[in-house]
């Protein structure tokens, strides 16, 4: 698939709402996208954007794990909380892309590193039996 074909597929899949920002390299590369529906810039793997439902972009939920669990739940009842949650979720995903360790991420966003570590394990980024507390 070339760049034009990929962008055409994204266009079709998201009804023109999602625009590709980064240059398309291959299905496994992490890319930056912009969704005009929820006005969010987010990162995802090129193939995931056209993959299973839980791997695709869902408005206000920029990130889902390989198992279809969303990293952080968004509450629609409280606008401020929603915005904050979305920003944190985006930040975590960005840091994963940038190869931060779970400890660095945890200290950066000031949460218990166990939460981030569990997420890394769920994603298969680290082994669950690691001796790295
Ligand atoms: Zn969206």
Q: How many residues does the chain have?
A: 133
**How far is the centre of ligand 1, averaged over its atoms, from the C-alpha of 3 (Å)?**
21
**How far is the centre of ligand 1, averaged over its atoms, from the C-alpha of 55 (Å)?**
13
Give the pLDDT confidence score for residue 80 in this predicted structure.
57
**How far is the centre of ligand 1, averaged over its atoms, from the C-alpha of 18 (Å)?**
7
First to last CA, the chain: 42
Give the pLDDT confidence score for residue 46 in this predicted structure.
93
pLDDT tens, residue by residue, 110-121: 878 888 888 788
Give the pLDDT confidence score for residue 61 in this predicted structure.
62
**How far is the centre of ligand 1, averaged over its atoms, from the C-alpha of 5 (Å)?**
21
**How far is the centre of ligand 1, averaged over its atoms, from the C-alpha of 127 (Å)?**
32
What residues have their beta carbon closer than 5 A to ion ligand 1? 35, 37-38, 59
Strand partners, 30: 45
**How far is the centre of ligand 1, averaged over its atoms, from the C-alpha of 38 (Å)?**
4
**How far is the centre of ligand 1, averaged over its atoms, from the C-alpha of 93 (Å)?**
16
Stretches where the chain sits below pLDDT 50 are: 62, 64-69, 72-77
Task: Kindly list the domain boundaries of the chain, sorted by start residue.
Answer: 1-58, 60-133
What phi, psi does 127 have (nearest 5°)? -80, 145
What predicted TM-score, i.e. pTM, was given to this entire model?
A: 0.48
Give the pLDDT confidence score for residue 133 in this predicted structure.
52
On whether the CB atoms of residues 66 and 124 are closer than 8 A, the answer is: yes
**How far is the centre of ligand 1, averaged over its atoms, from the C-alpha of 34 (Å)?**
8
Strand partners, 33: 20, 42
Cα–Cα dist 3/87, whole Å: 29
**How far is the centre of ligand 1, averaged over its atoms, from the C-alpha of 72 (Å)?**
16
Give the pLDDT confidence score for residue 129 in this predicted structure.
65
């Amino acid at each position: 698939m070339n760049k034009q074909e990929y962008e055409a597929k994204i266009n079709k899949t998201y009804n023109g709402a999602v625009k590709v920002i980064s240059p398309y390299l291959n299905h496994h590369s992490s890319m930056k996208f912009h969704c005009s529906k929820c006005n969010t810039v987010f990162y995802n793997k090129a193939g995931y954007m056209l993959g299973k439902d839980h791997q695709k972009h869902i408005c206000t939920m920029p990130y889902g794990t390989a198992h279809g669990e969303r990293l952080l739940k968004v509450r629609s009842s409280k606008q401020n909380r929603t915005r904050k949650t979305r920003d944190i979720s985006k930040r975590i995903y960005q840091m994963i892309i940038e190869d931060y360790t779970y400890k660095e991420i945890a200290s950066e966003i000031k949460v218990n590193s166990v939460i981030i570590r569990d997420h890394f394990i769920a994603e298969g980024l680290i082994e669950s039996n690691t001796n790295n507390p």
